[in-house]
Chains A and B, each alone.
Chain A
């Protein structure tokens, strides 16, 4: 049976991991290669790098990070952040990434997803969706796509947008709840479930994980195919292996 995936996410700024990673046996917690190696050893099913480098001069550093990680970590690697052209995608894939995650560029130019999928194949294209609830209490639930870290509304309905991105060639959806991101209160389960049930491709749930039960809920209640988390793994609150043991004990199929 297909396992539900657990995906640690690393924020990388100018080639360094940010948002403190706190492993006892890691020499340099800012070194993405060392951190990725550690997650691989713990049994991560994939690793996602989110490049938050602001300066365009240093954008090339993520390519070198991927090259180094791909030398020794033999699980799927995804890179997101700042991807706007097919050339960006090719460079990352040639460096050893397996997938790239497209976010803002898809919102401003939905045809970019189609072009990218045509050029490199849907299996390499993840579309990242940042959604926020816009329905008032008592109304039927409704979510919209937001950009700029959840500050700018776009008026796009999240479910329709997800379906449109799949029609354009997205091979996978990375769904982040902007209401839950950083809150540690768990995924937005109704949102996750609505999107996952509405599209044919796998959905990765993201945003809000604060404890292991949240990972289980994302899969069982949210119908997610994979769960992504950052802080519960970075601060060594839990290892990936512990998360998997916990999920298995709750009846979730995992790779152990």
Chain B
């Protein structure tokens, strides 16, 4: 039996993530919410979700002594970051007046600019909320079977700015094009919520279940 750990560090509702993963899990795989370091280290693959503010997420990880554990699993087995689980992988976020993050991927996290307008002259709202397209900027096993420019469900006010374009796996247009998916070795991380993104989201999660890490 194989285990997928969904890291539970008290940040947001993880039931949807677990349900969606269970929906696509192969018969020999169990999905488990895990909060303990030892449990997470035993998992075959790790999903790192998150909601809320960067500072709270980092504080929750620190309190639970999960920072070394995440660094370990993110470099040794398939690792999927979702939403805040993408943002806190970066070096630093501008949120909460500046928050040091995990530093697993080089780059920062910025807020969308206020008072931008779209192609039709309407105000771009923050949070960026709803179904937007992800342009796959490079091939990756997690994109298998997902059409180019498929729509996924987003809800966020900050977006990542990786230092290297090499790690960008997908971009999305919202006033400006931003990196909506990054991939680096065993890490794939995405800004949207695949667990709430209907068929393309479930396909991505299914691909993750079969991914061996790497490109």
Contact = CB atoms under 8 A, between A and B. Distances in A.
A104 to B, nearest CB: 24
B32 interface: no
B110 to A, nearest CB: 17
Interface in B104-143: 114, 118-119, 122-123, 125-133
Contact of B131 (A3, A121, A200): A3
A98 interface: yes
B16 interface: yes
B177 to A, nearest CB: 11
B114 A200 contact: yes
A93 B13 contact: yes
- Contact-size category for B: 35 or more
A43 B197 CA distance: 11
Interface SS, B side: mixed
B198 A74 contact: yes
A171 B119 CA distance: 23
Contact of A2 (B12, B52, B174): B174
Nearest to B205: A74
A145 to B, nearest CB: 21
Contact of B197 (A74, A97, A171, A226): A74
Interface of B: 12-13, 15-16, 19-20, 23, 51-53, 114, 118-119, 122-123, 125-133, 151, 153, 155-156, 173-174, 193, 195-198, 201-202
Given A74-B201, A76-B193, 20 more contacts: A1-B133, A2-B131, A3-B151, A40-B198, A70-B16, A72-B23, A74-B16, A74-B195, A75-B153, A75-B197, A76-B196, A93-B13, A94-B15, A96-B19, A171-B127, A200-B126, A202-B129, A223-B122, A255-B131, A255-B151
30 contacts: A1-B133, A2-B131, A3-B131, A4-B130, A5-B130, A5-B131, A45-B130, A70-B15, A75-B196, A75-B198, A76-B153, A93-B13, A94-B13, A96-B13, A96-B16, A96-B19, A98-B16, A121-B53, A123-B51, A123-B156, A124-B13, A171-B155, A197-B123, A201-B126, A201-B127, A202-B130, A223-B122, A225-B125, A225-B129, A226-B130
